[in-house]
Amino acid sequence: MELELVTIGNELLLGFTLNTNAAELARALAEAGVRVARHTTVGDDPAAIEAAVRQGLQRSGFVITSGGLGPTRDDVTKRSVAEIFDARLELDRGYLKELERRFKGFGIGRMPESNRSQAEVPRGATVLRNPWGTAPGLWLEGPLGGVIMLPGVPRELRGLLEAEVVPRLQTRAGERSGRVTRSRVLRTTGRSESALADTLEGVADRIAPLTLAFLPSPEGVDLRLTAWQMGQQEAIAALAAGVDTILPSLGACYYGEGDIDLAALVIDLLARKGPRLAVAESCTGGMIGQRITAIPGASAVFVGGVVAYSNAVKASALGVPEALVEEHGAVSEAVARAMATGVAERLGAEASIAVTGVAGPEGGTPQKPVGSVWLAARLNGREKVRGRVFPGSRGDVRLRAAQAGLDLLRRLLVERNGPESGEQP
């Protein structure tokens, strides 16, 4: 199956907003075996929307739009598409009732008048429920082809895609061709892109026709294997063989697949093994705590943390002796160890992570340049400590430090209780 995307919004056309929706749609559709043939962006302008959707229908017979459904945009997309299909807008009383109920639930009381128009749908359209927002998705088919209208708010678009659109398209596409494009992503951290490329030299030939892409970010390097336009079973088998070929070379820097999050993995390992976690953060300023508490259910293992930004707080809240800071400096192995021990004792946890570093742009010295970070992790009395100098901006250094802190505890959690493995320290 093949279709076109039309993304709508002046802010996209003007370049004020990056078009993440187009990428999100394309990736989700490829997984469902649907090929995106063309992508068009137009402004919030009825004539431009109508022209783009009409041309897309003529070429491909199927169009997905995003944007132009909000109450302040006059529902410009809905009206333009209804025009193409010659379909009148009618009030969907069921949806209106649901909207009113939800506004009551928010404690806002009466629904603003401007939201009422969102319950008007083109005659014959299927309403796709949107619990993440107020504009429903709409699915309209007729002699000209099919149009799926989705809201432009990324969270709502993603929700509707997963819950409503992809499952229906998957069924439809599978029936027609049976060919899909599938990927698997192996996540690594602690090794650079060029080091990984050297490690995996020659592997591209061995896994052909799969392709291998390196996707570096401050969190590490993701490796994406892709099977292009294969039968579904064939793609699954080829990807499994490709992963088996690559994994042995990755060692402990591989931590999981897909969109797995390192913080979620650490929480999961802790929940299975029992110890509770506390964190002591200096240069990351709360980022590790924030990542951990982003995971639903973190409260089962995470008791809390201390953001010890000033040296006074390192002393008062974590019991780091002032003499230690004076002798070694706040960014040092000794202070990282003392922070990890202090936070575990003070907050009553068996596991802890501590980070202290120079995030920059100021504060670097020849001995401790910007990017210098000391990390410590403790687990039931065992300990790992690492010193690193991370490249990049203040933001990058902080992201890398938070990831490295979580990774240090992960390595403690997955190692047997013996000595450290031969992994690069």
**Nearest residue to 57 (alpha-carbon basis) of 20, 30, 85:** 85
Check: CB of residue 289 under 8 Å from CB of residue 312.
Answer: no
Please say which residue, 251 or 285, places its beta carbon nearer to its own copies. 285
- Could you tell me the smallest distance in angstroms from the CB atom of residue 405 to its own copies? 12
Query: What DSSP line would sit under 156-202, residue for residue?
Result: HHHHHIIIIIHHHHHHHHHHHT-EEEEEEEEEE-SS-HHHHHHHTTT
Please say which residue, 125 or 330, places its beta carbon nearer to its own copies. 330
Please say which residue, 84 or 343, places its beta carbon nearer to its own copies. 343
Joined together, the tokens standing for residue 298 give: 């973190």
Joined together, the tokens standing for residue 32 give: 């469902």
- Could you tell me the smallest distance in angstroms from the CB atom of residue 88 to its own copies? 25
- Could you tell me the smallest distance in angstroms from the CB atom of residue 99 to its own copies? 11
Please say which residue, 178 or 361, places its beta carbon nearer to its own copies. 361
Phi, psi of 413 (to 5 degrees): -70, -35
Give dist(CA 33, CA 192) in Å, integer: 33
Please say which residue, 153 or 338, places its beta carbon nearer to its own copies. 153
For 138, the 3-state DSSP assignment is strand
- Could you tell me the smallest distance in angstroms from the CB atom of residue 389 to its own copies? 5
**Nearest residue to 383 (alpha-carbon basis) of 357, 356, 350, 358:** 350
Joined together, the tokens standing for residue 22 give: 């187009």
For 337, the 3-state DSSP assignment is helix
- Could you tell me the smallest distance in angstroms from the CB atom of residue 106 to its own copies? 5
Please say which residue, 142 or 285, places its beta carbon nearer to its own copies. 285
- Could you tell me the smallest distance in angstroms from the CB atom of residue 287 to its own copies? 4
